Amino acid sequence: MAVKIRLKRMGKIRTPFYRVVVADSRTKRDGRVIEEIGTYNPKTDPSTVNINSERAQYWLGVGAQPSEAVTALLKLTGDLQAARGEKAESTLKTPAAKRDKAEVFNEALKAVHAEPVAEAVTSSKKADKAEAKADKAEAKADKADEAETEAAEA
């Protein structure tokens, strides 16, 4: 029986997710498998590769042939070189550490409180009406004062 190590496609239509599987070479791509030895998610940044190194090296030692894609993944994890007896380290990229949510929140609060408080660009209608009434009242008071001063002068 010819055994292959290949990818089994999972996931949604535009978000593929793969399982690294050991299967008979005559089975369908997503058909029955002998063993699942890992996962591969190409949509994350950087891509996520989780392969059980011990099982991958066992199957390579027994004679399982990896597909081209799995060969590339095994080179990244260093399992292919280890199965051949060479020394190699994993060259997988690790995602950057995420900042604590509380820390991000506190920084945002500091930024908000540090900004100068400015008035709104557009004024509200109620404020405009109140100003208009105050202007009319001042105008009436000015006219009344003028009338009183004219009456006092005459």
* pLDDT tens, residue by residue, 98-151: 788 888 888 888 888 777 666 666 666 777 777 888 888 888 888 888 877 777
Is the pLDDT at 152 greater than 80, yes or no?
no
C-alpha to C-alpha distance for 24 and 13, rounded to whole angstroms: 26
- According to the model, what pLDDT value does residue 122 have? 65
For all residues of the chain together, what is the average pLDDT? 84
pLDDT-wise least confident of 6-20, 22-36, 125-139? 125-139
Are the CB atoms for 3 and 18 separated by under 8 Å?
Answer: no
Cα 56–Cα 62–Cα 64 angle in degrees, nearest 5: 65
pLDDT-wise least confident of 52-61, 67-76, 139-148? 139-148
* Residues whose CB is less than 8 angstroms from the CB of residue 83 and which lie 6 or more positions away in sequence, other chains included: 56, 57, 60, 61, 74
- According to the model, what pLDDT value does residue 70 have? 92
Q: What mean pLDDT comes out for the span 17-36?
A: 90
pTM attached to this predicted model? 0.59
- Which amino acid is residue 114, in one-letter code? A
Instruction: Output 88 or 23, whichever has higher pLDDT.
Output: 23
- pLDDT level of residue 38 (50, 70, 90 thresholds): very high
Give, to the nearest 10 degrees, the angle between helix 53-62 and helix 68-77.
130
- Residue identified by tokens 């109140």 is 130
- In terms of Cβ atoms closer than 10 Å to its own Cβ (0-12, 13-18, 19+), residue 40 is buried
- Residue identified by tokens 């100003």 is 131
- pLDDT level of residue 10 (50, 70, 90 thresholds): very high
Contacts 24+ apart (CB under 8 A), 33-40: 33/8, 34/3, 35/59, 36/8, 37/5, 38/73, 40/7, 40/73
- pLDDT level of residue 78 (50, 70, 90 thresholds): confident
